[in-house]
C-alpha cells in the first residue's frame, strides 16, 4: 500500500503574520517560493502516482515548484473557512473573545464569500478526500498539497480521531509529511519535515 505525501504550501504574507487565511487567495512570498523549490528533493524520494491540490494559487504554485508535475484540483482541500475571522490574527480575535482558541471555539459567520465552517464540516470534506484516494493508495503514493489546518484535520481523520484532534499536529509552511500504515493500521510515518533536512546525509 502506498503512502499519502502531504505538503503544506510555502509561506505567504498572511501566514508569516499569523493571519487566518481561509478562502482569501494570497500568493506565496519569495521565501515561500524558495521553500517550495527546496522541498523538491524530498518529494523526488517518493514515486507519486497521483497529485491532488487545493484550488488556491498558493497550493498550486507550491505543487509546481516542488516538481509534482500534473495535478488535479480538489475543492475539498480548500483551507478551513474562517468566516468572520478571515484575515485576523488570534491576538486580534482575543481582543473581543478573551481566551479564543480556534479548535475549541470555532468560527463566526462572515460575508457571503466567507460564511464560515465548523471543524466537523471540514472533517466531512477531508473524509471525502480520503475516500477518493483509498483505491489509489492500493497502486502507490498519492500527494496532497494544501493548507495547515485542513491537512491537520485530514491527519486526525486518517488516524481515526475526531476532526478537532487536528490540534495535536502542528504543521509549518513548506514542509512534507507522510501518512502510511503499520500492520495495516494507519500511522504517521514522518511529520513536518522541513526542506533543509533534504540536505542532511543519512547516517552511515
Q: Considering 9, 20, 147, 149, which one is annotated as catalytic?
A: 9
User: What span, in angstroms and rounded, lies between the C-alpha atoms of 19 and 63?
Assistant: 22
Region 59-68: mean pLDDT is 98
Q: Chain-centre distance of CA 102, in angstroms?
A: 16
> Is 149 marked active-site?
no
182 by DSSP, 3-state: which?
A: strand
> Is 9 marked active-site?
yes
Q: Considering 79, 86, 117, 165, which one is annotated as catalytic?
A: 79
Domain map (residue ranges) of the chain: 4-78+118-198
Distance of CA 41 to CAs 36, 62, 109, 145, 193, Å? 10, 13, 41, 16, 12
User: What span, in angstroms and rounded, lies between the C-alpha atoms of 142 and 190?
Assistant: 15
Q: Is the pLDDT of residue 81 over 80?
A: yes
Sorted by sequence, the CB contacts under 8 Å of residue 98 that are 6+ apart come out as none
What pLDDT digit, counting tens, does each position of 122-176 carry? 999 999 999 999 999 999 999 999 999 999 999 999 999 999 999 999 999 999 9
Task: Specify whether domain 4-78+118-198 bears CATH 3.40.50.1240.
Answer: yes
pLDDT at 195: 85
Question: Half-sphere exposure of 35 toward its Cβ, with a 13 Å CA cutoff?
Answer: 23
What pLDDT digit, counting tens, does each position of 17-60 carry? 999 999 999 999 999 999 999 999 999 999 999 999 999 999 99
> For the sheet containing 4-8, what is the strand order?
72-73, 48-53, 141-146, 4-8, 176-182, 185-193
Q: What percent of the chain has pLDDT over 70?
A: 96
pLDDT at 196: 66
Amino acid at each position: 500500500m502506498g503512502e499519502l505525501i502531504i505538503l503544506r504550501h510555502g509561506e505567504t504574507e498572511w501566514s508569516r503574520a499569523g493571519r487566518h487565511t481561509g478562502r482569501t487567495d494570497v500568493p506565496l512570498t519569495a521565501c515561500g517560493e524558495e521553500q517550495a523549490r527546496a522541498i523538491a528533493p524530498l518529494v523526488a524520494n517518493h514515486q507519486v502516482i497521483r497529485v491532488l491540490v487545493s484550488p488556491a494559487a498558493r497550493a498550486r504554485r507550491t505543487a509546481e515548484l516542488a516538481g509534482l508535475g500534473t495535478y488535479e484540483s480538489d475543492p475539498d482541500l480548500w483551507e478551513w473557512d474562517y468566516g468572520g475571522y478571515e484575515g485576523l490574527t488570534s491576538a486580534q480575535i482575543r481582543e473581543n473573545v478573551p481566551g479564543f482558541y480556534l479548535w475549541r471555539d470555532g468560527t463566526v459567520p462572515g460575508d457571503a464569500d466567507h460564511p464560515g465552517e465548523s471543524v466537523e464540516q471540514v472533517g466531512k470534506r477531508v473524509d471525502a478526500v480520503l475516500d477518493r484516494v483509498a483505491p489509489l493508495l492500493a497502486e502507490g503514493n498519492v500527494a496532497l498539497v494544501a493548507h495547515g489546518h485542513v491537512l491537520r484535520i485530514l491527519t486526525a481523520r486518517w488516524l481515526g480521531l475526531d476532526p478537532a484532534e487536528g490540534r495535536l499536529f502542528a504543521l509549518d509552511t513548506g514542509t512534507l509529511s507522510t501518512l502510511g500504515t503499520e500492520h495495516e493500521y494507519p500511522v504517521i510515518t514522518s511529520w513536518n519535515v522541513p526542506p533543509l533536512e533534504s540536505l542532511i546525509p543519512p547516517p552511515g
